[in-house]
Amino acid sequence: MSNATDLRAAALENKAWPYEEARKLIARYPDGFPATGVIFETGYGPSGLPHIGTFGEVVRTTMVRRAFEALAPGVPTRLIAFSDDMDGLRKVPEGIPNPELLRANLGKPLTQVPDPFGTHASFGAHNNARLQAFLDGFGFQYEFLSSTDCYRSGMFDATLLKILERYDDVINVILPTLGPERRATYAPFLPIDPVSGIVLQVPVVARDVAAGTISYVRPGTNGTVTVPVTGGACKLQWKVDWAMRWTALGVDYEMAGKDLIDSVLLSGRITRVLGATPPAGFNYELFLDAEGQKISKSKGNGLTIEEWLDYGPPESLALYMFQNPRKAKRLHFDVIPRAIDEYGDFLAKYPGQPIEQQLGNPVHHIHEGAPPAADLPISFSLLLNLASVAATDDPAKLWAYVARQAPGTSPASHPALDRLVHHAARYARDFVVPGLKRRAPTPQEAGALADLDARLTAVGPGADAEAYQFEVYEAGKAAGFDNLRDWFKALYEVLIGSSQGPRMGSFIALYGLDETRALIAGALAKEPA
């Protein structure tokens, strides 16, 4: 990597999306940055556990943060992971122990709902701890903020009083977006009822700007209750809350899903009503399931982060998040192998690239400008085919093949490769082997296979992949295949049981000559198709 000056000069022109986003932040401060620096934010709703979307938002925001630091060296930055834990619990999530405990506390702030797991002071605290453990596990650098703590500590008081002062201007932004019934009862402030503890959605019947209070009629009674808007006695409806947070915390950058475009625009208008500038950011596309439908946590039709990490390393997931964030993408098990191999390809190319290409290389952003040395002598797809044909999910058995193709490698000397061996074993066991079905060869294919067997025998064991690959080509040409793609497809279907497969020379070198000849013999023993 060149020095910081060269990097900054190249980054100022680079078209990788993190640099494009970082330039938006520079444009916000044409007269110089504030002494407090630039603030990035991501939001989290702690009514559920962290999920793959949480990872995507934090990792992408971190990429923009690091790109900004390269463009504006020396400017302080902060990443706030904000938890909306003062929200009222609307429903009992599925799969939670002691659901009756939550059911009895519906409507209360999440930090006032007992923890059904019995490990923390509240359900909100439990999920906040899970969020922080989740972020820490990936090595993210962030500052955690709790909505409850911010409201109660007075951190938001000045902005809450400003909203009370500009009450009509604020609701005039929101009211045109609501139906007639909702317009009649809407209020930006949601009082926390001092008796029930529930977050109330009730009309405000009076407000006192000088006293900093609002009044409402307690549901089920005729009694009017007056509460301060400060100190945690009220919270805000979420679109106003978002604008308040941007204003109070001075947020410069926050991205959001495409489904929140209208909310971002509304919150931005309210931010301007409050005399502040909305943060920069972009709206990323949502993930789709295998059928092209929008992923929904409640439907459970997506891929969880735990499932991805069972079958692929975190770097492959980060690559998937980096690529085309404004394009809807399928998030299903079958995208994992390609992401793993693409990551390996990008990592291998990085050292030899000029700086302009390095800055556009995803691994530069995944590893915050310092990618590790590439040390993956065997691709994941080849490991996957090996595990599938060998029909084993035992990493130790797979390593016996790997060491043959890549002498000197071992789990101890090549930990990254060892991770891929374990991932390939699990992936092949769960997704590939159950679907393999080897067919019998046609007469033409059988002749070509017999010829290939003779050719491979003549080459002998211990040859390199190129020598075996040459004979594979020659056998196909000698058999009269007009299109050698048909020959390779036949090899995959007859020997492996799939319509797609690895580079055959590499596979033979890895799997072994004797083992490959045994596959051919087994295929020739079948009745021709």
Domain ranges of the chain: 4-153, 158-165+172-236, 289-347, 380-435, 443-524
Q: What's the rounded mean pLDDT across residues 144-155?
A: 98
Q: What's the rounded mean pLDDT across residues 448-455?
A: 97
**Interatomic CA distance for residues 413 and 399, integer angstroms:** 12
Contact 417, 375 (CB under 8 A): yes
* Residue-wise pLDDT tens digits, 329-346: 888 899 999 999 999 999
Q: What is the DSSP letter of 428?
A: I
- The answer, yes or no, to whether residue 133 has pLDDT greater than 50, is yes
Contact 4, 369 (CB under 8 A): no
Q: Tell which residue, 405, 406, 488, has the closest CA to residue 445.
A: 488
Phi-psi label, residue 504: left if phi above 0, alpha if psi -120 to 50, beta otherwise: alpha
CA 392 to chain centre: 30
Three-state SS string over 202-255 comes to: CCCCEEECCCCEEEEECCCCCCEEEEECCCCCEEECHHHHHHHHHHHHCCCECC
Q: What are phi and psi of 189, to 5 degrees?
A: -90, 135
> What is the amino acid identity at position 525?
A
Tokens 């999306």 belong to which residue? 17
Contact 315, 326 (CB under 8 A): no
Under the banding of pLDDT at 50, 70 and 90, the label for residue 458 is very high
**Interatomic CA distance for residues 125 and 140, integer angstroms:** 20
Q: Using DSSP, state whether 75 is helix, strand or coil.
A: coil
**Interatomic CA distance for residues 411 and 392, integer angstroms:** 18
- The answer, yes or no, to whether residue 243 has pLDDT greater than 50, is yes
* Residue-wise pLDDT tens digits, 484-523: 999 999 999 999 999 888 899 999 999 999 999 999 999 9
What is the structure's pLDDT at 304? 84
Looking at the DSSP bridge assignments, the partners of residue 208 are 213
Q: Which of 48-52, 53-57, 159-163, 302-306 has the highest mean pLDDT?
A: 159-163
**Interatomic CA distance for residues 339 and 427, integer angstroms:** 13
Q: What are phi and psi of 208, to 5 degrees?
A: -130, 100
Under the banding of pLDDT at 50, 70 and 90, the label for residue 2 is low
**Interatomic CA distance for residues 482 and 442, integer angstroms:** 15
**Interatomic CA distance for residues 516 and 529, integer angstroms:** 21
Q: Tell which residue, 58, 255, 235, has the closest CA to residue 143.
A: 58
- The answer, yes or no, to whether residue 447 has pLDDT greater than 70, is yes
Q: Mean pLDDT lowest for which of 204-208, 215-219, 301-305?
A: 301-305
* Residue-wise pLDDT tens digits, 410-425: 999 999 999 999 999 9
Query: What is the percent of the chain where pLDDT is above 70?
Result: 98
Sign of CA dihedral 333, 336, 337, 338: positive
What is the structure's pLDDT at 6? 86
* Residue-wise pLDDT tens digits, 18-68: 999 999 999 999 999 999 999 999 999 888 778 888 899 999 999 999 999
**Interatomic CA distance for residues 441 and 439, integer angstroms:** 6
Contact 123, 106 (CB under 8 A): no
Helix axis angle, 336-349 to 380-390, nearest 10°: 140
Q: What's the rounded mean pLDDT across residues 160-180?
A: 97
Under the banding of pLDDT at 50, 70 and 90, the label for residue 297 is low
Whether 443-524 and 4-153 are alike in CATH topology: the answer is: no
Helix axis angle, 465-478 to 484-491, nearest 10°: 120
CB 524: neighbour CB atoms within 10 A?
Answer: 17
Query: What is the percent of the chain where pLDDT is above 90?
Result: 85
CB 104: neighbour CB atoms within 10 A?
Answer: 12
What is the structure's pLDDT at 302? 67
**Interatomic CA distance for residues 184 and 388, integer angstroms:** 63
Q: What are phi and psi of 163, to 5 degrees?
A: -65, -40
Under the banding of pLDDT at 50, 70 and 90, the label for residue 1 is very low
Q: Using DSSP, state whether 145 is helix, strand or coil.
A: strand
Contacts of 52 (CB under 8 A, 6+ apart): 287, 302, 303, 304, 305, 308, 317, 331
User: Roughly how many angstroms between the first and final C-alpha of the chain, as a whole number?
Assistant: 56
Q: Tell which residue, 297, 336, 302, 303, has the closest CA to residue 320.
A: 336
- The answer, yes or no, to whether residue 293 has pLDDT greater than 80, is no
Contacts of 115 (CB under 8 A, 6+ apart): 121, 122, 123, 125, 126
* Residue-wise pLDDT tens digits, 356-408: 999 999 999 999 999 999 989 999 999 999 999 988 899 999 999 998 888 89
What six digits make up the tokens of 458? Answer: 């003549």
What is the structure's pLDDT at 296? 63
**Interatomic CA distance for residues 265 and 278, integer angstroms:** 9
- The answer, yes or no, to whether residue 144 has pLDDT greater than 50, is yes
Q: What is the DSSP letter of 493?
A: I
Q: Is 496 exposed, middle or buried (0-12, 13-18, 19+ CB in 10 A)?
A: buried
**Interatomic CA distance for residues 492 and 476, integer angstroms:** 13
> What is the side-by-side strand order in the sheet with 213-217?
206-208, 213-217, 224-228
Instruction: Kindly report the average pLDDT of the chain as a whole number.
Output: 93
**Interatomic CA distance for residues 283 and 261, integer angstroms:** 7
Sign of CA dihedral 147, 152, 155, 158: positive
- The answer, yes or no, to whether residue 298 has pLDDT greater than 80, is no
Under the banding of pLDDT at 50, 70 and 90, the label for residue 443 is very high
Looking at CATH, the fold of the domain delimited by 4-153 is given as Rossmann fold (3.40.50)
What is the structure's pLDDT at 92? 92
**Interatomic CA distance for residues 395 and 409, integer angstroms:** 14
At the second CATH level, the architecture of 443-524 is Orthogonal Bundle (1.10)
